[in-house]
Structure 1
Amino acid sequence: MSSQPFPLKRLTPDDVSLLRQLNALFGDAFSDHETYRNHPPSDAYMKDFLGKDHIVATVALAGKSVVGGLVAYELDKFEKARREFYIYDLAVDENYRRQGIATALINHLREIAKRRGAWVIYVQADYGDDPAIALYEKLGVREEVLHFDIGLDG
Structure 2
Amino acid sequence: MTPYEVRRLTPDDIALMHAMLHMFGAAFDDVPTYSGHQPDTGYLAQLLANPGFVAVAALDRLEPVGGLAAYVLPKFEQARKEIYIYDLAVKQTHRRRGIATALINELKRIASEIGAYVIYVQADYGDDPAVALYTKLGVREDVMHFDIEPEPPPG
- TM over 0.5, yes or no? yes
TM alignment of 1:1-154, pairs within 5 A: 4-153=2-151
Provide the secondary structure at the position in 2 that maps to 1:60.
strand
Provide the secondary structure at the position in 2 that maps to 1:90.
strand
| Structure 1 runs, 4 residues or longer, greater than 3 Å off | none
Instruction: Give ranges in structure 2 of 5+ residues lacking alignment.
Output: none
Letter in structure 2 aligned against 1:61: L
Q: In the comparison of the two structures, how many residue pairs are matched?
A: 152
Distance (Å, rounded) in 2 between the aligned partners of 1:50 and 1:60:
16
1:4 is displaced (CA, Å) by 4.5
1:119 is displaced (CA, Å) by 0.9
Whether contact under 8 Å (2:72, 2:84) holds in the other structure is yes
Provide the secondary structure at the position in 1 that maps to 2:141.
coil
Provide the secondary structure at the position in 2 that maps to 1:69.
strand
Whether contact under 8 Å (2:2, 2:97) holds in the other structure is no
TM-score (norm 1): 0.94
Aligned-CA RMSD value: 1.2
Q: Percent identity?
A: 56
Instruction: Give ranges in structure 1 of 5+ residues lacking alignment.
Output: none
Q: RCO greater where, 1 or 2, for CA within 8 Å and sep 6 or more?
A: 2
1:44 is displaced (CA, Å) by 0.8
TM-score (norm 2): 0.94
Distance (Å, rounded) in 2 between the aligned partners of 1:29 and 1:125:
15
Whether contact under 8 Å (2:2, 2:99) holds in the other structure is no
